[in-house]
Chains A and B, each alone.
Chain A
Amino acid sequence: MDTSLIRELVPAVIGVLVRRGADFASAEDAVQEALVRAYETWPHDPPRDPKAWLIAAAWRKFLDAVRAESARRGRELTVDAEPPDGPVPDADDTLRLYFLCAHPTLSQPAAVALTLRAVGGLTTRQIATAHLVPEATMAQRISRAKRTLSGVPLDAPGDLATVLRVLYLVFNEGSGGDVDLAAEAIRLARQLDALSDEPEAAGLLALMLLHHARRASRTGAGGRLVPLAEQDRSLWDTAMIAEGVTVLQTALARDRLGDYQAQAAIAALHADARTAAETDWVQIVEWYDELLAITASPVVRLNRAVAVGEADGAQAGLTALADVDPGLPRYAAARAYLLERAGDLDGAATGYAEAARVATSLAERDHLTRESARLRQAARR
């Protein structure tokens, strides 16, 4: 069964229920129940019209819930069994759901979970498995998020920046369980780009595509991390790179530069080089300068220093690093890298060992430990 087809229907079906008078939280619950039912029955009994099936099933679930609630309160049913013909649902419903699920009042984990369920159409179990938490915890995280949103209308004005941040978080969560969250984030970003007129939405999609295209080359034997300069570029997905570049160029032509477009431009310059040596580091530094002008982020400053080290030599990179906050997680790794390029192998070996101690991911820690060991062995020879 092609689950992405069902999942694409989810936001539209929630929109239909809300237009028929259901509140968002109940509509979303009803659609989730209908979705779980669809997964059970569709493989052996596929519907002729999947969307109509999902709407009918979700509306029934919604009515059941309303009836149960009315019975509990001893009050009359307030919703008609036969729904009124409300205004025709439009594509904007889906865009509004993106905004609602990434509402600024939500914590990031809550926004991520709600987006994956209400916009992505994933089940609570899939989201829980992907995040390695119990299903009960994830169910609570989602209902709590919906309680936080109670009273916020679906058509409340939204903030695209928070939506983009949530999708980028999902992208960076990688894969867990049977769901590839990076691929899901790309699907959602692609859909968002089609619905939104903002070049930054395109910028984020381009950034994701350009990174995802290199995924196969990013890990070597035993899951070890392969740094960009050592990646086997024949493994890069050239079609995906081409798509990313096209999306980016269209966005840049709108002349409203933003954070994600600038990051995507840097990713595109890496993707464009046939060998690591052919990388246009001078242009990359220029893009980092653009990025700094937009965000003034310390992480950007750090990455810029590494790029300067490639463009103008390691010593220039170390000088640029002097302006960077040494408390950043990857500061030690960047410094060790530049020290090695500058010929200070002892300093680099110590630096890599220090970087391994403060690494926040296992693959990174192992990589930095190997780098330190490599330099120490070289020093003994």
Chain B
Amino acid sequence: MKYLLLKHYRGGPEPVIGYQPLDQWAPDRVDAHIRYMRDFADRLVGTGEFVEEKALSPEGTFVRFDGEGRPPVTNGPFAETKDLVAGWMIIDVESYERALELAAELSAAPGPDGEPIHEWLELRPFLTGFPSVGE
């Protein structure tokens, strides 16, 4: 079963620990945080559960069709979008319980004081392409 682990810049439940953005941490804490994420991904390759990891720029633009022959209409970037996705990791695991366990592990990345950051991560199951057999 494949799951998406979504990391948000903003949005989601109230943070457990109030913390500043990464750029305001001590450099070695930033390194420790990033290293934890990288080690986590490496570990998942080792367990045969890693699929993909990507990060997104916070700068996004809304775009829409504006009729035949007309250029696309753009809107933004919005500084105040409530929900802002920072990036994701896709995992392929045996069960929902295992997905929860891994999400919790990733959420324990060290924060500005070196202690687990308790960051909220959003866990979303992928739809499979076709239902399994059975009338």
Question: Which chain A residues have a beta carbon within 8 Å of chain B's beta carbons?
Answer: 107-110, 113, 131-134, 136-138, 140-142, 144-145, 171-172, 174, 211, 219, 225, 228, 266-267, 270, 299, 303, 359-365
Contact = CB atoms under 8 A, between A and B. Distances in A.
Contacts of A133: 50-51, 92
A359 B48 contact: no
Contacts of A145: 48
A211 B49 CA distance: 30
B45 A172 contact: no
Interface string B52-91: 1000000000000000000000000000000000000000
Interface string B13-56: 00000000000000000000000000000001111111110000
Contacts, number: 78
Interface in B84-135: 92-94, 125, 127-135
Interface of B: 2, 44-52, 92-94, 125, 127-135
Given A140-B47, A144-B47, A360-B127, 14 more contacts: A113-B48, A132-B2, A134-B45, A136-B45, A137-B92, A138-B48, A172-B132, A225-B131, A228-B135, A270-B135, A303-B135, A361-B129, A362-B129, A364-B131
B129 A363 contact: yes
Nearest to A171: B133
A361 B128 contact: yes
Contact of B45 (A110, A140, A362): A140
15 contacts: A133-B50, A133-B51, A134-B45, A137-B50, A171-B133, A172-B133, A174-B129, A211-B133, A267-B135, A270-B135, A359-B127, A361-B129, A362-B127, A362-B129, A363-B131
Contacts of A113: 48
